[in-house]
Amino acid sequence: MRSLNAPPPPPPCAGCGGPLPSSSGRGRPRRYCSTCLPATAAIEKAELARRWRQLNPDRVASYNAERREVTSTVVCTVCASPFERPSKARHEVCSHECALARRRERERGRRDAA
């Protein structure tokens, strides 16, 4: 004879040990009461973020660098003088004059090749 009418009592809240509200019967059973749930969710989220940062220091560094809009010193490919360039930028010349000079150089090279 099985006692179907006496379900096992729900486990206590994993946070405070208090009684859990009865679940709706769908989805995963609850582990925390409504008082503990927001707090533990925030802690777990912060903990996950902290672990992710530990595992991905380079990603964190590049993210911070992008946010800070840092510039890096690169060397102009035309006049070879160093200049500051935003980390996101891709241009390789220091000035408008050098950009024009490089374009002239390329056009001349194309004419010679043809």
Residues that bind Zn ion (CB under 5 A): 13, 15-16, 18, 33, 36, 76, 78-79, 94, 98
33 or 74: CB nearest Zn ion = 33
What is the nearest approach in angstroms of Zn ion to the Cβ of residue 112? 23
How does strand 82-86 pair with strand 71-75? antiparallel
74 or 79: CB nearest Zn ion = 79
Q: How many helices (H) and strands (E) does the chain have?
A: 3, 2
Residue 65, CA distances (Å) to 16, 46, 62 in order: 41, 22, 5
What is the nearest approach in angstroms of Zn ion to the Cβ of residue 1? 36
What is the nearest approach in angstroms of Zn ion to the Cβ of residue 37? 8
19 or 63: CB nearest Zn ion = 19
Which residues contact residue 21 at a Cβ distance below 8 angstroms, ignoring those fewer than 6 apart?
30, 33, 34
Q: Is 82 helix (H, G, I), strand (E, B) or coil?
A: strand
What is the nearest approach in angstroms of Zn ion to the Cβ of residue 38? 11
49: tokens are 């973020």
14 or 60: CB nearest Zn ion = 14
